[in-house]
Structure 1
């Protein structure tokens, strides 16, 4: 899935684009599952951890978002729990293995508003090591003015202290935070739009600044994202109250800090292990 030059590009830029991440025959069935999920129809009977948009309930100009759709739909699960994707993420991160922390089911129809620039790792004090590496899969061909993912090249190497935080859903200036961060560290701001065919996508570093603008095109932009941590990650109780810790710390066990594989399954590990049943 990744050539040597892809890894080198990732290390330099904090991201790399790939033209093919899933087989083409999955694309239309996945789009149909997006329809169901955003109507509140959950195939498995289990609701996702976060349902931030539902049909006939929420503002149609917002980007539609669900977190951990894999728990609600088996086709979503078979896509984001893929061992090859887990191996690719672990390779880029330098981990012995990768486990999924959460997925994102994202749908930005024509006219939908932006998602603010942010760094994933800034929200993750609830587990350690506090690292996330992600794979973003486009279900529609993407263009720069269609609200595609944007990543600030090389920003994964910027200092992490005192990062500015801003509004995530539909901010007036979706690049305000990354602009302020670049100015604070004296870095040149070089923003790249991820333009790939349907089924392609990108991998990005947890410290890379990224976001997406409004969809000014006449096409839909649906994407599926898997966010991974190291297979060796454990809960950090001191950080439960920060970032999205209040949502995912509910899965912490009473007697230890192990991240239960029923909720955070291991996709791939270099000794051949993979969580049974997924």
Structure 2
């Protein structure tokens, strides 16, 4: 871990008005040291945030403007729309469930235009120093009041990709496997009782591959565990970390977000609010030059359709239609011009990532 004051990164309120004289590291230095970075500035405009909320209300009612359902829809919500009762919440706190939707972009062009924008992908490119960024998948996690916790896990074990490493790779020396980076956007203000996203600090450097050659960090039980941090605590102790440090996203405002390495253990607690939802979307990105790990992809219900007919050891490129490259690196001059044309609310975030890599 780096030696800076972690609260300067982990609290959005502290970042917007820092009181500590301790130098704050660059976003990429913080990201590489801790395995995550919590943005001090909004990633979406208020109108984009509102648009995503509205679009998700359609999706949970199985209304799909593009006529294409998500890869994994949630159970249909039949309650009528009510701006005062998002997610169809009726006030009944018994048996509330977290709603998950996989690949929301397939079902709504408005969602796709926001999530697949080059601007969001550019943040990933500058944090990681990748030459290009590929869009892999998005997932909406929608917690009504009293919805259960989400157990700690890693993202990379669920995405069967591979690539050949070269001596000139700039992803960081500890990444001997494909690196996945997840951008999480919150659509609600994250309060102490919201059940916002949490990270196990430094866990991206822990054991990545089992003796059998499989990624470490998948969790067979996502919802409702009493000790949702158990896996991260156990894996930390196996690494010699007696007390794992956890960092929360409390203080983030709607439209804000965080970035985490696909090998960072993360999860979230119960939404203990009696009235307010906690809505968020996670987007998984990779480098542009990845390929399928055919053997692992064929064993997955989610990914096997994309490698049908591919022989072991054969070429397994990702479809540009399904998994497009949404950003490629530009010269500094081109970036300065692009920043000038960007929306005012995200200029700060772009400049922050560009000038402090």
Compute the TM-score of the two structures, normalised by the length of structure 1. 0.89
> What do residues 86-129 of structure 1 show as CA deviations (whole Å, max 9, x unaligned)?
121122233211111100112111110111100111222x2213
Q: Residues of 1 paired with 2:180 and 2:107: CA distance?
A: 23
2:201 matches 1:201: no
Whose Rg is larger?
2
Q: Which residue of 2 aligns with 1:21?
A: 43
3-state secondary structure, aligned to 1:246: coil
Q: Residue 297 of structure 2 contacts residue 307 of structure 2 at CA under 8 Å; is this kept in 1?
A: no
SS in 2 for 1:92: helix
Question: Equivalent residue for 2:154?
Answer: 119
Once the two structures are superposed, residues 157-206 of structure 1 have per-residue CA deviations (whole angstroms, 9 ceiling, x without a partner) of: 11224546341122232111111111111113111111201110101111
CA separation of 1:109/1:83 partners in 2, compared to 1, >3 Å: closer, same or farther? same
Residue aligning to 1:251: 306
Partner of 1:234: 291
Q: Is the 1:131–1:230 Cα contact (8 Å) retained in structure 2?
A: yes
**Residues 1:77 and 1:166: Cα distance change in structure 2 (over 3 Å):** same
Q: Taking structure 2 as the reference length, what is the TM-score of the superposition?
A: 0.70
The reply to whether residue 168 of structure 1 matches residue 222 of structure 2 is yes
Structure 2: segments with no counterpart, 5+ residues: 1-23, 80-93, 164-177, 211-215, 332-357
214-223 or 199-208: bigger deviation = 214-223
Equivalence map 1:83-232=2 (5 Å): 83-124=118-159, 126-129=160-163, 130-162=178-210, 163=216, 165-187=219-241, 188-195=243-250, 196-217=252-273, 218-232=275-289
Instruction: Using the TM superposition, give the Cα deviation of residue 260 of structure 1 relative to its aligned residue in structure 2, in angstroms.
Output: 0.5
CA deviation vs aligned residue, 1:232-252 (integer Å, no higher than 9, x gap):
11112111245xx32123123
- The Cα shift of 1:224 comes to 1.5
Alignment check: 8 A CA contact 1:150 1:191 kept? yes
Aligned residues: CA RMSD? 2.1
Q: Identify if the C-alpha distance between structure 1 residues 259 and 161 changes in structure 2 by more than 3 Å, giving closer, same or farther.
A: closer
How many Å separate the matches in 2 of 1:31 and 1:104?
14
1:47 counterpart (69, 76, 92): 69
Q: 2:115 aligns with which of 58, 75, 80?
A: 80
Task: Structure 1: state its 5+ residue gaps.
Answer: 273-278
* Structure 1 Cα separation of the partners of residues 287 and 301 of structure 2: 20
Q: How many Å apart are 1:271 and its aligned residue? A: 5.9
> Counterparts of 1:96 and 1:144 in 2: how far apart (Å)?
38
Give the whole-Å Cα distance in 2 for the aligned partners of 1:52 and 1:251. Answer: 23
Q: Please tell me whether the aligned partners of residues 298 and 307 of structure 2 are also in contact (alpha carbons under 8 angstroms).
A: no
SS at match of 1:240: helix
Cα–Cα, structure 1 residues 138 and 20, in superposed 2: closer, same or farther, change >3 Å?
same
SS at match of 1:203: strand
Structure ranking higher in strand proportion: 1
In the comparison of the two structures, how many residue pairs are matched?
Answer: 266
* Most deviating of 161-170 and 24-33: 161-170
In the alignment, is the contact (CA less than 8 A) between 1:24 and 1:199 conserved in 2?
yes
Find 1:64's aligned residue among 67, 85, 99: 99
Show the counterpart of 1:276.
none
SS in 1 for 2:182: strand
- In the alignment, is the contact (CA less than 8 A) between 1:166 and 1:177 conserved in 2? no
